[in-house]
Structure 1
Amino acid sequence: MSSSSQGRIKPLSATPVLPIACLLAVGMIFGLTYGLSAPLFTLELFDRGYGAQIIAANAMMHAVGVLSVAPFLPRIAAHFGPRRPLVLALGVIASVLVLLPVVPSIWFWFPLRLALGCATEILLILSESWLNQITADQTRTRTMGLYSSMLSLGFALGPLILAVAGRHGFTPYAISAGFVLTALVLVCMPWMHAPALKRATHSGLWRYITLAPIAIGITLLMAMLEAAGSSFLTLYAIRNGWTEQAATLLLSVMLLGAITLQFPLGWLGDRMNRRHLMIGLGVASCLGALLWPLGITHQPWAYVLLFVWDGLFAAIYTLAMSVVGSRFSGGDLVSIYATTSVAWGLGAFIGPEMAGTAIDISRHGLPYFVSLACGLFTLLPIFLRKSA
């Protein structure tokens, strides 16, 4: 990544607390929407006799939505600012959640999931870039760690709502829509003043791959594994003798690890070499996934193992995004996030397919796939020493 002064963001003397709190709430809604919809679609399709390939195809619709909106987000943000697109996206998510339990056929879930992909990606890019711009440099990694924790909290809330309220009937959708509408009201508050966006230095998104290859690489990996895990972790546990409720709670416990460990690892990232920390976390994620087949046979150990594993893995993304936020601002920052969203869409598109194939090939194909993906990513910070 270029370290020239052209793209650097100046440290802020103070961090606005209320806008940050509202943007953290928006981040939680992103996680909640994905964390609710992925296991819901998977279990419903599984109950109706559909196999891994149909489940993967449905999960891919989320990625199609991401890829369809991502290239236009820099222009949308420059023209309208981040606030109005966020309000629109939250309205779309609330509407889709209300429609899901009443549509007459599961084939309507495909376009609805595409709409969720578009709307949730707007939430992710615009809220995270907005937050990065208004955060003081001295506390950037910790603040982005809190944001990642809220993402994970939302991911955990989705399966938790399904486990407590059940996935049949209107109740889980109404609860989730209530959270979404609360976030919409917060974004409309008068203290939500969006920063002015400067024009991006480069006109094409692909130029930003060379500026932030590690950040884009971890986004690709994160999307692959989150899409694969959300769609197949519960199924992996069920195939290894778990009940549906215990398997759903396993996904929530795993995500709670990311919630708990992000701030302390962010604190550590503000005080040591971030590249070295990313390499260490990448190696730990690679080796930790190889322990899943042992842990899955003992439920208490599986909960502990996945709690720690996801906390370490999620921190890699936090570290990469804090480096990007410290070096870029304005239109360049939004363009980098838009490029990462393309990577996210690609990862979410291929992740379920690769995981579905792996789980069909081997009983423990899912953890082997996760370990291989983490190991390949770790090569990036090892060899690209001057990039971020």
Structure 2
Amino acid sequence: MTSQEASAPAPAHLLSRGAVILTAMMFGLTYSLSAALIALDLAGRGISDAVIGANAAMHAVGVLATALVLPRLVASVGPRRLILTALGLAALTLMAFPLTPAIWLWFPLRFVLGAASESLFVLSETWINSLSTEQTRARAMAAYTAALSIGFALGPLILSLVGAQGILPYAVGAGMAVAAALFVASPKVEAPVFEAPSHSNPMHYLRLAPLAMSATVLNAAIEAAGLSFLALYAINLGWAEQEAARLMSCMMLGAIVLQLPIGWLGDKMNRRHLVIA
């Protein structure tokens, strides 16, 4: 048991887990909502698929740039303050898209959104690890990943309900980010305590765990392609916009349903063999 688990009262510990889950869901929601919404919005403005793909790539550029400086940011700013900053930045950036008529400005906005999303992803995953023991880690990570998947599914679901036109879908995403920030900022939620990393260079961890990192890259590539282009592909086949948005939610159904069984297997068998299988 970690020192944080031993000293934290049960209600505070549960609230901390709730804050982690909510932060993870907001990462999934921010990413899935923005990927599908921006792609549909740009397509509706007559923008080519090549430009839509280039704009989506700016999200990844923001992720990579943030990964290089995130350990130093956490050390200097603190994890809770950085999570709140990322949630606030995500809300402001989402609202900026429909209010910015110049499409070229959507590229730096997408970069900023990628940076905010990366911060939420890394900090929430580190937070759930700090709340877990070795015996419960796989199940905790399964619950965490299920929350991510629910967030991924909520983005397209929101689009199917409110549509991809106008400011409303952006405002819904921004409002949910603000609500998550208010929950994380609650004094009843204990601030996460992270150990200082021994290495700040991401390449060190790539050499340390190449299988895990490769699986993450493959997963990210599949999700990015699906969320950015699956709806456009369905629309080109004659599907209605709302039906195309629901299709992306269905894509995440397997991830939501299978996370806890996979987590249980991860606690019972060799995890490297499980990843390979």
Aligned to 1:214: 211
Hey, what's the Cα distance between the residues in 2 that align with 1:19 and 1:262? 21
Aligned counterpart in structure 2 of residue 82 of structure 1, from 63, 79, 82:
79
1:236–1:169 Cα change, 3 Å: closer
Q: Alpha carbons of 1:204 and 1:177: their partners in 2 closer, same or farther (altered >3 Å)?
A: closer
Match of 1:109 in 2: 106
What's the CA shift for 1:273? 2.1
Alignment counterpart, residue 119 of structure 1, candidates 113, 116, 121: 116
Q: Does the residue aligned with 2:98 lie in a helix, a strand or coil?
A: helix
SS where residue 221 of structure 2 aligns? helix
Instruction: Please state whether the residue corresponding to 2:97 is helix, strand or coil.
Output: helix
Matched residue SS, 1:206: helix
Secondary structure in 2 aligned to 1:270? Answer: helix
In the alignment, does 2:149 pair up with 1:152?
yes
83, 100, 108: which one aligns with 2:97: 100
Q: Which residue of 2 aligns with 1:223?
A: 220
The residue that corresponds to 1:161 in the other structure is 158
Q: Secondary structure at the match of 1:200?
A: coil
Q: Work out the CA distance in 2 between the residues paired with 1:207 and 1:102.
A: 41
AA aligned to 1:93 is A
- Long gaps (5+) in structure 2: none
Q: Is residue 35 from structure 1 mapped to residue 32 from structure 2 by the alignment?
A: yes
Write the distance in 1 (CA, Å) between the matches of 2:70 and 2:165. Answer: 36
Tell me the matched-pair count: 272
2:172 counterpart (163, 166, 175): 175
Q: TM-score with structure 2 length normalisation?
A: 0.91
Deviation at 1:37, TM superposition (A): 0.9
**Inter-partner Cα distance in structure 2 for 1:199 and 1:242:** 50
Note the alpha carbon deviations across 1:122-149, whole angstroms, 9 max, x for none: 1111111111111122221111111111
Amino acid at match of 2:114: G
Give the partner amino acid of 1:85: L
Partner of 2:188: 191
Instruction: Note the C-alpha offset of 1:239.
Output: 3.6
**Quick one: which amino acid aligns to residue 35 of structure 1?**
S
1:44 matched to which residue of 2? Answer: 41
- 1:261-300 map, 5 Å: 261-280=258-277
Counterpart position of 1:247: 244
Deviates more, 1:200-209 or 1:172-181: 200-209
Q: CA distance change for structure 1 residues 20 and 69 in 2, over 3 Å: closer, same or farther?
A: same
Q: 1:203 to 1:272 in 2, by over 3 A?
A: closer
**Shift, 1:246, TM fit:** 1.9
Displacement of 1:23? 0.8
94 and 194 in structure 1: CA distance in 2 versus 1, 3 angstrom threshold:
same
Question: Is contact 1:87-1:184 (8 Å) kept?
Answer: yes
Letter in structure 1 aligned against 2:108: P
Percent identity over the alignment is: 50
Q: What is the rounded CA distance, in whole Å, between the counterparts of 2:208 and 2:148 in structure 1?
A: 25
Which stretch has the larger CA shift, 35-44 or 96-105? 96-105
Q: Secondary structure at the match of 2:196?
A: coil
Aligned partner of 1:276: which letter? H
Q: SS state of the match for residue 101, structure 2? A: coil
Letter of the 2:124 counterpart: S
5+ unaligned residues in a row in structure 1: which ranges? 1-8, 281-388
C-alpha change, 1:38 and 1:133, in structure 2 (3 Å) is same
Q: How far apart in 2 are the matches of 1:168 and 1:204?
A: 41
Deviation at 1:10, TM superposition (A): 8.4
CA distance in structure 1 between the aligned counterparts of 2:234 and 2:76, rounded to whole angstroms: 46
Q: TM-score, normalised by structure 1?
A: 0.66
- One-letter code aligned to 2:186: M
CA contact (8 A) 1:82 1:127 kept: no
